[in-house]
Amino acid sequence: MSSRPTSRAEQRRNTESRILAAAQRLFAEVGYDRATVRAIATAAETDPGLVMRYFGSKDELFARAVGFEADELVTGTPEQAAEQLLTALEHKLAATPIDALAALRSMFGHPDAAADVRSAMVARQQQAAQHLATDDADLRAGLIGALTIGAVIGRYLLRLDGLADAEPERISALLRTAFHEIAHGTPAAES
């Protein structure tokens, strides 16, 4: 087993990764207020001063930990957008979305965290709305977002029967018609 010395840059990246992972876990487990910089540093096996040096503030660390910027942008036609949004939901349901849970748990107890989460979600909603049917596009994007959030909360926080153990593909299959009807609508039946 060889141990090669690591550069300062590698050490910094490793420490930053440990801090971010610890922050995500703690924000998801206990929320924004109870996840202190000291607790995050302890969980990351580092010094609280390094947390502040690498992330600037607890708010900036929270913004990185919830990771909304990591989501893929919605593109294409309303039909393609619906499928992209279903795929994103499947990914969130396939493995515990620590970043989303950190955001959700924290926003209920801390006004600044709630504002950060709302701001990020509104930006995502506005971006997705550009690729949905133009009539009520913001409402359409908001409804799909609400279905997604509801599915994540139901599966991971409430552990609802059926939803908690269902295969992600089964959930998206059941939601496919709803996502498509919301994203691009169905022609009105002639009377």
Locate the domains of the chain by residue range.
8-56, 68-184
Q: Give the pLDDT confidence score for residue 69 in this predicted structure.
A: 52
Q: Give the pLDDT confidence score for residue 189 in this predicted structure.
A: 45
CB 55 within 8 A of CB 15: no
The CATH code that applies to domain 8-56 is: 1.10.10.60
Q: Give the pLDDT confidence score for residue 45 in this predicted structure.
A: 95
Q: Give the pLDDT confidence score for residue 151 in this predicted structure.
A: 95
Q: Is 161 exposed, middle or buried (0-12, 13-18, 19+ CB in 10 A)?
A: exposed
Q: Give the pLDDT confidence score for residue 191 in this predicted structure.
A: 41
Distance between CA atoms of residues 154 and 161, nearest Å? 9
Distance between CA atoms of residues 120 and 59, nearest Å? 14
The string of pLDDT tens digits covering residues 161-178 is 999 999 999 999 999 999
Q: Give the pLDDT confidence score for residue 71 in this predicted structure.
A: 64
Q: Which segments in the chain show pLDDT lower than 70?
A: 1-5, 67-71, 186-191
**H-helix segments, the chain:** 8-34, 37-43, 48-55, 58-66, 78-94, 98-107, 111-129, 137-152, 168-184
- In terms of Cα–Cα distance, which of 158, 139, 148 is closest to 71? 148
Q: Give the pLDDT confidence score for residue 64 in this predicted structure.
A: 82
